[in-house]
């Protein structure tokens, strides 16, 4: 699947996640869109005392800003698919769309 087959709003969160990952030089970039259309962009956090995936950070940002549900989530990573923690955190908010893409923007998985 290429990014041209995605809804324009879903493509936007892939672009935002890719940009955040590249800008910060991290392993993951993520973006989520809440029920009002607001987007939250994050990268993974790897500190000696705290490790969070990019999706965990993006979802936490959305929730702390008042989001009650998510319309879509995107993860840009070298991994072939999202990990269990990523699936769980987006499921907590009933996210119907989870898109995983490679660093070049190639869509690997979309549900």
pLDDT tens digits along 62-101: 999 999 999 999 999 999 899 999 999 999 999 888 999 9
Side-chain-side CA neighbours of 88 within 13 Å: the count stands at: 6
Its pTM stands at 0.92
Question: What confidence score (pLDDT) does residue 23 get?
Answer: 97
Q: Which domains does the chain have, with CATH numbers?
A: 3-110 (3.40.140.10)
Q: Is 43 helix (H, G, I), strand (E, B) or coil?
A: strand
Count how many Cα atoms sit within 13 Å of the Cα of residue 32 in the half-sphere of its side chain: 30
- CB burial readout 68-82, b (16+ within 10 A) else e: eebbbbbbbbeeeeb
- Retrieve residue 54's tokens: 């990019």
Tell me, what DSSP letter sits at residue 59? H
Asked whether the predicted pLDDT for residue 3 surpasses 70, the reply is no
Bridge partner residues of 97 (DSSP): 72
Q: How confident is the model at residue 22 (pLDDT cuts 50, 70, 90)?
A: very high
């Amino acid at each position: 699947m290429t990014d041209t087959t995605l809804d324009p709003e879903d493509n936007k969160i892939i672009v935002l996640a890719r940009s955040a990952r590249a800008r910060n030089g991290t392993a993951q970039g993520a973006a989520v869109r809440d029920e009002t259309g607001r987007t939250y962009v994050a990268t993974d956090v790897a500190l000696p005392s705290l490790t969070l995936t990019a999706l965990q950070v993006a979802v936490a940002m959305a929730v702390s800003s008042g989001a009650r549900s998510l319309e879509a989530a995107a993860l840009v990573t070298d991994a072939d698919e999202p990990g269990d923690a990523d699936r769980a955190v987006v499921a907590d908010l009933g996210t119907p769309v989870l898109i995983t893409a490679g660093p070049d923007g190639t869509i690997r998985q979309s549900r």
